[in-house]
Amino acid sequence: MRRQNESSVVAFILLGFSNFPELQNQIFGAFLVIYLVTLVGNTIIIAAILLDQHLHVPMYLFLQNLSVVEVAFSATIMPEMLVVLSTKKTTISFAGCFAQMYFILLFGGTECFLLGAMAYDRYAAICHPLAYPVIMDRRVFVKLVMFSWVSGIMVAIVPTTWVTGFPFCGSNEINHLSCEAPPVLELVCADIFLFEIYAFTGTILIVMVPFLFILLSYIKILFAILKMPSTTGRQKAFSTCASHLTSVTLFYGTASLTYLQPKSGYSADTKKVMSLAYSVLTPLLNPLIYSLRNNEMKRALMKLWREKVVLHTL
């Protein structure tokens, strides 16, 4: 925080939903339920994959890492939001705000790369089934997971460090739900043109390049599925890919709208809703998306239920 002493701002105010004071209690209740369901749902998936040896294959181990990211992503944003809604304590310290920004970028970047790795895994499994054990062996899987996490860490360091060096000498009210970079940058009283070029270029590389890679992978997967002689095989392949495609659409669609939009593109309330879509809704829906459309996950969840819940009640 090397420039904090040069700034008159030592804390920020998260406005959140302050323009709807009559709905604060209802919003708090809804977000509390969403947060608890997100934690429970993703934790159950992590535990089911950990305890079921049949799921110790790349497809489900990638999903396990994705669930870890979703839990961490949600935990970065939701607790502070719930405190604001329940106690009217809307302030967040200078250090706390930029710590939150760092972890939002870290887990967001990691999720981008993980979704890309999952697309590659599906491509290898469907387009090259005989060579799949060689293409996606344990070493390749570990490298892809490590690359995703390390890339997320590196992606977050530069912009967060750069933004902390800007002077904040005007308003300290962040008209948003959290300390994401775009709304925080609106409070900077300095020329941020170079940072905006860097941020736009970085977002293109981090969001759009993996997305285009996923799109290319699924085009090849589609052609491979259409060539399958068995209707059952085609249905199974489509079902396997549908969950991942749904997650990709939810996450990339809303994240790109938030980080690639022009400054005057949307109102503040619209930006908040789009932010909720990828930071709150996606972590909530991922457990449902993957468990309801996957027979192996359903079997593992039922096994976990019988062993850990039913047996303990007997």
pLDDT tens-digit series, residues 138-155: 999 999 999 999 999 999
Residue type, 189: C
The answer to whether 256 touches 215, Cβ cutoff 8 Å, is: no
**pLDDT over threshold 60, residue 310:** no
pLDDT score at 117:
93
What value does the mean pLDDT take over residues 122-129? 90
What value does the mean pLDDT take over residues 11-36? 86
Q: What separation in angstroms does the CA of 142 have from each of 80, 96, 139, 146, 298?
A: 33, 32, 5, 6, 25
**pLDDT over threshold 60, residue 120:** yes
* pTM of the entire predicted model: 0.87
